[in-house]
Amino acid sequence: MKPAKTSKAWMKEHVNDFFVKQAKKEGYRSRAAYKLLDISERDHLLKSGMTVVDLGAAPGSWSQVVTKKIGNRGQVIALDILDMVPLPGVVFIQGDFREESILIELERNLKERQLDLVISDMSPNLSGIVISDQARSMHLAELALAFSMQHLNYGGSFLVKVFQGRGFEDYLSNMRKGFNKVLVRKPKASRDRSNELYLLGTGKKDLITEF
């Protein structure tokens, strides 16, 4: 079957993309690494010794960034339903983070360490149907928010990818209920045509409105 013109155009753009080339050069598993690096540098997000959970971590570029920033005193636990090639300094748990068995495994690996940061760059397999894709994307973001509210230490932070569209304003409102400050970020590595944004909640509140 002859490739569609849109697929050929995407592949050409991907191959010539600056951040794709940079990721290969610097050993990152995907160009998404530069989105986290951008946000981390701007907002001083990643600090030495932090304990971090990376939701939907595969293929692992965000976990790579985190391990370099937090050093040997820190801890990174990556979760995904997909398999992920092992990374030095990263504990990987394969499974659905909503399941009790996975949460038990997470707690076992935390070893009573307080969780400082939850990051989520999750995105569903896109169907091309805008309304459906938006709903599925927001559902993943909602699951990540619920996880962070349950497991983050008070004062902790939460970084999540969302897409502008239906449900965005409600989601932003919910984040503001749980965190002292919520910042909207569009990193340089995020393509201009994409409606993706990143929301950073800092200072998890002591009193949480039920989600």
**Single-letter amino acid code for the residue at 35:** K
161 is catalytic: yes
Maximum Cα interatomic distance, the chain, rounded to a whole number of Å: 57
Taking alpha carbons only, the member of 166, 191, 171, 193 closest to residue 182 is 171
Q: Is the peptide bond before 59 cis (omega within 30 degrees of 0)?
A: yes
Q: What share of the chain is helix, strand, coil (3-state, %, to 5)?
A: 40, 20, 40
User: Which helix (H) or strand (E) segment is 196 a member of?
Assistant: strand 196-204
133 is in an annotated binding site: no
Catalytic residue among 25, 161, 181, 188: 161
121 is in an annotated binding site: yes
User: Which helix (H) or strand (E) segment is 169 a member of?
Assistant: helix 168-178
The alpha carbon dihedral of 65, 71, 72, 77 has a sign of: negative
62 is in an annotated binding site: yes
10 is in an annotated binding site: no
Residues 6+ apart with CB under 8 A from 142: 171, 211
End-to-end CA distance of the chain: 47
Q: Which residues are catalytic?
A: 161
Task: Extract the annotated binding site for S-adenosyl-L-methionine.
Answer: 60, 62, 80, 96, 121
Task: Extract the annotated binding site.
Answer: 60, 62, 80, 96, 121
